[in-house]
Amino acid sequence: MIPYSTTVARGTTVPPARTSAGAPAWPSAEEPLTDEELGRGLVAGDDACLAAVHRRWSGLVHTLAWRTLGDAKEAEDVTQQVFLGVWRGRAGYRPERGTVAGWIVGITRRRIADALAARTRRGELVAAAGAALPPDESAAGRPEAVLERVFVRRELARLPAAQQRVLRLAYFEDLTQTQIAERTGWPLGTVKSHVRRGLHQLRRNLRPETGTE
């Protein structure tokens, strides 16, 4: 398998693969591979084709991610995840179902959806934590400060073990509910139930007391 550090790591350039004779393995700029040839080479595990695919479509992927997410760092992360997904899932590409570009765009849309879902999960936890803070300490513009407050972790630790586990996986490891089900071996419905109940209990525990004299 092609080493990650030589493919699509942020801020690096993919070096050309070389033959045993030391010459570049892919064609020169005057002899570019067709999309069909790139697809066949990619499925066959040719890392030179992955490098060519990255050069040809990384700009499109980054643009789609940036326009949807509005955040340069998240767009870079999505772009990196997309091409890792392209390499790892190359055996699933079927030319008869569409072009390489269309396949990559499909992967991009799923990764963007994952990024938006992760953003929503973080926002929910910030909202739950912020509800327990006095107005002048809500740190609305500093969600990371809220997340690090000791009392949030304390209340999370008080939840039943199953609820605590799924919330930690969701909010601190940014896993989707499907990924949590795969990680834990629990049915997806069970994971969703634990997330819902855990969030409800966490909000109740963090709600400011409003008792009267």
If asked whether residues 11 and 108 sit together in one domain, one would say yes
Give 78's pLDDT tier (boundaries 50, 70, 90): very high
If asked whether residues 110 and 152 sit together in one domain, one would say no
Which is higher by pLDDT, 17 or 197? 197
Q: Which of 16-25, 90-99, 111-120 has the lowest mean pLDDT?
A: 16-25
- The pLDDT of residue 173 is 79
Domain final residue, candidates 84, 114, 144: 114
Tokens coding 161: 């073990």
If asked whether residues 108 and 155 sit together in one domain, one would say no
Give 10's pLDDT tier (boundaries 50, 70, 90): very low
pLDDT in tens, 105-145: 999 999 999 888 877 776 666 665 555 444 444 444 554 45
Domain range enclosing 161: 131-206
Residue 13 lies in a domain: yes
If asked whether residues 107 and 154 sit together in one domain, one would say no
If asked whether residues 135 and 110 sit together in one domain, one would say no
Domain final residue, candidates 114, 145, 161: 114
**Rounded to whole angstroms, how far apart are CA atoms 76 and 141?**
23
If asked whether residues 35 and 97 sit together in one domain, one would say yes
DSSP structure string for 125-189: HHHHHHTTS-GGG--TT-HHHHHT-HHHHHHHHTS-HHHHHHHHHHHTS---HHHHHHHH---HH
Q: What CATH number should be reported for the domain holding residue 156?
A: 1.10.10.10
If asked whether residues 40 and 110 sit together in one domain, one would say yes
Which is higher by pLDDT, 174 or 30? 174
Residue 37 lies in a domain: yes
Residue 121 lies in a domain: no
If asked whether residues 104 and 151 sit together in one domain, one would say no
DSSP structure string for 68-126: HH--HHHHHHHHHHHHHHHHHTGGG--GGG--HHHHHHHHHHHHHHHHHHHHHHHHHHH
Residue 122 lies in a domain: no
Partnered with residue 24 across adjacent β-strands are: 18
Residue 9 lies in a domain: yes
Please give the tally of structural domains in the chain: 2
- The pLDDT of residue 100 is 92
Q: What CATH number should be reported for the domain holding residue 38?
A: 1.10.1740.10
Residue 167 lies in a domain: yes
If asked whether residues 164 and 66 sit together in one domain, one would say no
Residue 45 lies in a domain: yes
If asked whether residues 157 and 93 sit together in one domain, one would say no
Residue 126 lies in a domain: no
If asked whether residues 107 and 63 sit together in one domain, one would say yes
- The pLDDT of residue 190 is 92
If asked whether residues 99 and 138 sit together in one domain, one would say no
